């Protein structure tokens, strides 16, 4: 049954994907009857209703609200949210303030969402300006690399000129060489499962299929994490470059970034980059006059944590209920619309770019055999130096907490590490 839905949804494809259609329809002021969408995609009304009713942001109870306070663990532990909620309720009405799960402002807390934008830190002091729709100056996250060599935070791919130069070079490089670099680097996926990235690209390049896809998993739902947000907003070209090279290597001409709706600035940053790159023929048809074409789009998540899991993410884009599928088959052989697909995390793609630019040897020489290279870590507002940092794999927690983080602002009993699928460990 789900295979049929994937295939039917795939006939329309990624550009007009069913999930986007469903979301836009619900969020539109005068939505169409879902029977019309069902007819257009040749699917049953129950399938469309099943998908639509899955997402928090598409529910009437959510859409009736005007502001949403962050209920992620960093904001909750900081104890800032009750007062924030009361202030917002006093301005907007008791029944107009809801909650959202982690807006990625763990370094400053007091986070809330209003009218398509996120606010945090001292922004609430300017609530009257915000409600009037005025732009306010917002604080940015602090970021710094402590790595032996920076692969993720350097400025080697911060302009479209640099993007063009690097792309020219890799369009001429043997695809097997690119895969070899990734294998030699020992880069493993940064999304959680830690699968070797070179192997994933290699498997997909060898998979048979008339069409293949590249998906960037930008559904960073783990509360406490804002490292993907950092990359999407401050290093977007590195993420996109990783996708383009992946497309080149596996033989794909289309990719998508699935970005959570809780990150409006990330969506804006990536959208801006995609448009700029398209204008410069660095994305799209026959890139730089070669026979390689690669187009990119964005899917905006609608408030479902599980969509970070790759099979649920694929189901979501296809317009199915975003439930986890049994594996195998793995996405590299049967992914989006049942076609071979590479799903990679934002940081993995940016690291792949860093490796191609700086060399695999430099990356593999950092850390250990199991965990090579550098990694982003996020420190919340309990630290004296909250922010996002690039560190060498193998750096001790003591160094991260005491030296990089500068110790704690107040007594701490335990750490929560790695989001809901991570663990809590005592300070001792
Ligand atoms: C419950 C659950 C949530 C997940 N959330 C994310 C996520 O937010 N971002 C992500 O990249 N991977 C997430 N993953 C891992 C993905 O399923 C997948 O392994 C990853 O996107 C593969 O990319 P990588 O090889 O680059 O790590 C999640 C997995 C599970 C089981």
Angle CA 16–21–22, to nearest 5 = 150
| pLDDT value at residue 423 | 84
What is the distance in A from the centroid of ligand 1 to the CA of 259?
Answer: 13
* Per-domain residue ranges of the chain: 2-53, 62-131, 145-364, 374-426
Of all protein residues, the one whose alpha carbon is nearest to atom 23 of ligand 1 is 344
Phi-psi region of 378 (alpha: psi -120 to 50; beta: other; left: phi over 0): beta
Counting every residue, how long is the chain? 428
Q: What is the spatial distance between Cα 111 and Cα 93, in angstroms, rounded to a whole number? A: 18
- Decide: 185 in ligand 1 pocket, CB within 6 A: no
| pLDDT value at residue 29 | 81
| CATH fold label, 145-364 | Rossmann fold (3.40.50)
Q: What is the spatial distance between Cα 30 and Cα 250, in angstroms, rounded to a whole number? A: 41
Tell which CATH classification among 3.40.50.720, 3.40.30.10, 2.170.130.30, 3.30.465.10 matches the domain 62-131: 3.40.30.10
Q: Which portions of the chain are predicted below pLDDT 50?
A: none
Cβ atoms of 105 and 118 closer than 8 Å? yes
Of all protein residues, the one whose alpha carbon is nearest to atom 14 of ligand 1 is 309
Q: Which atom of ligand 1 is nearest to the CA of 188?
A: 25
What is the distance in A from the centroid of ligand 1 to the CA of 171?
Answer: 29
Handedness of CA 146, 152, 157, 158 (dihedral sign): negative
What is the distance in A from the centroid of ligand 1 to the CA of 338?
Answer: 19
Q: Tell me the three-class secondary structure of the chain, residue by residue.
A: CHHHHHHHHHHHCCCCCHHHHHHHHHHCCCCCCHHHHHHHCCCCHHHHHHHHCCCHHHCHHHHCCCEEEECCHHHHHHCCHHHHHHHHHHHHCHHHEEEECCCCCCCCCCCEEECCEEECHHHHHHHHHHHCCCCCCCCCCCEEECCCCCCCCCCCCCCHHHHHHHHHHHHCCCHHHHHHHHHHHCCECCCCCCCEHHHHHHHHHHCCCCCCEEEEEECCCCCCCCHHHHHHHHCHHHHHHHHHHHHHHHCCCEEEEEECCCCHHHHHHHHHHHHHHHHCCCCECCHHHCCCCEEEEEEECCCCHHHHCHHHHHHHHHCCCCCCCCCCCCCCCCCHHHCCEEEEEHHHHHHHHHHHHHCHHHHHCCECCCCECEEEEEECCCECCCEEEEEECCCCHHHHHHHHCCCECCCCCEEEECCCCCEEEECC
- Decide: 262 in ligand 1 pocket, CB within 6 A: no
What is the distance in A from the centroid of ligand 1 to the CA of 217?
Answer: 7
What is the distance in A from the centroid of ligand 1 to the CA of 193?
Answer: 7
What is the DSSP pairing of strand 67-70 with strand 112-114? antiparallel
| pLDDT value at residue 1 | 57
Angle between helices 197-206 and 346-358 (to 10 degrees): 90
Pocket residue to mutate for ligand 1, from 72, 197, 217, 322, most atoms within 8 A of Cβ: 217
CB-CB neighbours of 50 under 10 Å:
15
| pLDDT value at residue 149 | 97
CB-CB neighbours of 124 under 10 Å:
18
Q: What is the spatial distance between Cα 314 and Cα 357, in angstroms, rounded to a whole number? A: 30
- Burial (CB < 10 A; 0-12, 13-18, 19+), residue 370, is exposed
């Amino acid at each position: 049954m789900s295979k049929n839905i994937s295939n039917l949804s795939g006939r329309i494809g990624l550009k007009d994907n069913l999930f986007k259609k469903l979301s836009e329809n619900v969020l539109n002021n005068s939505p169409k009857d879902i029977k019309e969408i069902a007819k257009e995609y040749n699917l049953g009304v129950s399938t469309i209703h099943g998908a639509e009713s899955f997402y928090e942001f598409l529910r009437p109870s959510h859409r009736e609200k005007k502001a949403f306070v962050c209920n992620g663990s960093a904001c909750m532990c900081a104890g800032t949210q009750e007062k924030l909620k009361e202030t917002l309720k006093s301005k907007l009405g008791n029944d107009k303030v809801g909650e959202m799960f982690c807006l990625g402002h763990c370094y400053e807390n007091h986070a809330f969402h209003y009218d398509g934008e996120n606010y945090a830190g001292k922004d609430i002091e300017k609530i009257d300006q915000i409600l009037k729709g005025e732009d306010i100056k917002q604080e940015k996250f602090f970021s710094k690399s402590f790595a032996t060599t920076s692969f993720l935070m350097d400025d080697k791919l911060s302009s479209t000129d640099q993007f063009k130069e690097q792309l020219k070079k890799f369009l001429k490089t043997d695809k097997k060489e690119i895969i070899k670099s990734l294998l030699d680097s020992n880069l493993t996926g940064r999304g959680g499962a830690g699968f070797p990235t070179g192997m994933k690209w290699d498997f997909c390049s060898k998979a048979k299929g008339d069409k293949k896809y590249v998906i960037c998993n930008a559904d960073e739902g783990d509360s406490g994490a804002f490292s993907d947000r950092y990359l999407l907003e401050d290093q977007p070209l590195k993420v996109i470059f990783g996708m383009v090279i992946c497309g080149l290597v596996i033989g794909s001409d289309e990719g998508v970034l699935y970005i959570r709706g809780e990150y409006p600035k990330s969506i804006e940053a990536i959208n801006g980059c995609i448009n700029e790159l398209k204008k410069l023929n660095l994305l799209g048809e026959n890139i730089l006059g070669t026979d390689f074409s690669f187009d990119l789009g964005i899917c905006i998540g609608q408030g479902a944590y599980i969509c970070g899991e790759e099979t649920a993410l694929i189901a979501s884009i296809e317009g199915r209920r975003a439930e986890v599928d049994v594996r195998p088959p793995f996405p590299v052989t049967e992914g989006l619309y049942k076609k071979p697909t590479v799903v990679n995390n934002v940081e993995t793609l940016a690291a792949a770019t860093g490796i191609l630019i700086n060399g695999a040897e430099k990356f593999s020489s950092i850390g250990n055999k199991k965990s090579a290279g550098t990694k982003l870590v996020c420190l919340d507002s309990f630290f004296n130096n909250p922010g996002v940092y690039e560190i060498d794999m193998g750096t001790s927690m003591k160094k991260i907490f005491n030296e990089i983080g500068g110790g704690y602002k107040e007594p701490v009993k335990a750490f929560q590490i790695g989001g809901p699928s991570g663990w809590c460990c005592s300070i001792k």
